[in-house]
Amino acid sequence: MRRKIVMVLLAAALTASLVISGCSKQGSETTKVRIGEVTRSLFYAPQYVAIEKGFFKDEGIEIELTTTPGGDKTMTALLSSVVDVALVGSETSIYVHQQGADDEVINFAQLTQTDGTFLVARQKDDSFDWSKLKGSVFLGQRVGGMPQMVGEFALKKNNIQPHEDLELIQNVDFGNIPAAFASGTGDYVQLFEPTASIFEREGTGYVIASFGTESGNLPYTVFMAKESYLKKNNAVVQSFTNAVYKAQQWVEGNDAAAIAKVVAPYFDGVDEDIMISSIDRYKQQGSYSLDPIIDEQEWNNLLDVMESAGELKTRVEHNKIVNLTYARKALE
């Protein structure tokens, strides 16, 4: 009898040990992934949803999120391994490829599929036509960045030559563009949300057109990493992409008000109604990707935009710096 009791106690101890060991293993399997986002924007709502709803955590990933303002700074952080993954425009990976990188930067999961800027005028215009920009002063975006290239692409599409038919201002720093317009520079300006909605509420300007609608679908903002990182962390990148897809599905299935409540911690000082207006505007024009796949048609549209802007040396084939493996598996 005594021997039986001892055996039962030993079995119980062993079971407890295994439970503790299992918990410890689970904790040790959590992997930190450092993301460098090119800016803090409601345009990236699915990323914040993935963090706040615990989709990354469910996949065993701890996120360290840093805002690295500007595509050049974000890419520098990625190339120097300050961050593991960059959330930035695909054009930056093409620039790196054109320079002959030893360790290619690979696009593996798409987050947004249109441009995120809007044409804002000083006055409401219910009968707006793009031809009205001829002879005006247009406060645009930084040369070489996707907003500027898409802006020029949209102007040309509407028979406006950016450097001939209007005065195009492109020497104002990204962060200072709203203040420049508010202080009187330009008749029209190209702005992201939530600034566009804030301007409308204040009467500073009014949204009259969408560059996202004009330019069509393209891999505007994408998660990317160095090829060496993907090879060393294949399972982690797959888990990361799985979480992104879950967030994309959640965003698609919920309205702007529900999304705004989730992402609010990332936008201190931004009123709820402005967040809702901004998110709704992006949802209405289909800016948020429904899945992480970067398809070839969108890629070719991106190349067309870059080519039109004179920023593309040679067209880069889709499979050169795009890896669809993770996105496709996430959808299975």
- Whether 165 and 107 share a structural domain: no
For CA atoms 69, 72, 75, 76, the dihedral sign is negative
- Whether 147 and 226 share a structural domain: no
Q: Please give the pLDDT value at position 57.
A: 98
- Whether 162 and 280 share a structural domain: no
Dump the DSSP string for 69-110.
-SHHHHHHHHHTTS-SEEEE-HHHHHHHHHTT-SS-EEEEEE
- Whether 99 and 178 share a structural domain: no
Query: Is residue 133 one of the residues assigned to a domain?
Result: yes
- Whether 324 and 224 share a structural domain: yes
Q: What is the pTM of this model?
A: 0.88
- Whether 189 and 224 share a structural domain: no
Domain that holds residue 72: 31-114+218-331
Query: Is residue 18 one of the residues assigned to a domain?
Result: no
Q: Please give the pLDDT value at position 231.
A: 97
CATH code of the domain in which 201 resides: 3.40.190.10
The domain boundary residue, chosen from 215, 246, 267:
215
Q: What's the domain count of the chain?
A: 2
- Whether 169 and 224 share a structural domain: no
Beta strands 117-121; 188-192: pairing state = antiparallel
- Whether 222 and 211 share a structural domain: no
- Whether 98 and 125 share a structural domain: no
Query: Is residue 325 one of the residues assigned to a domain?
Result: yes
- Whether 106 and 138 share a structural domain: no
- Whether 252 and 210 share a structural domain: no
- Whether 233 and 87 share a structural domain: yes
Query: Is residue 10 one of the residues assigned to a domain?
Result: no
Q: Please give the pLDDT value at position 143.
A: 85
Contacts of 49 by beta carbon, 8 Å cutoff, 6+ apart = 55, 247, 250, 251, 259, 262, 263
Please list the rounded mean pLDDT of every run of 10 residues in the chain (332 residues).
38 38 49 96 97 98 96 96 97 95 96 97 95 96 88 96 95 91 97 95 96 95 98 98 98 98 96 96 97 97 95 94 98 96
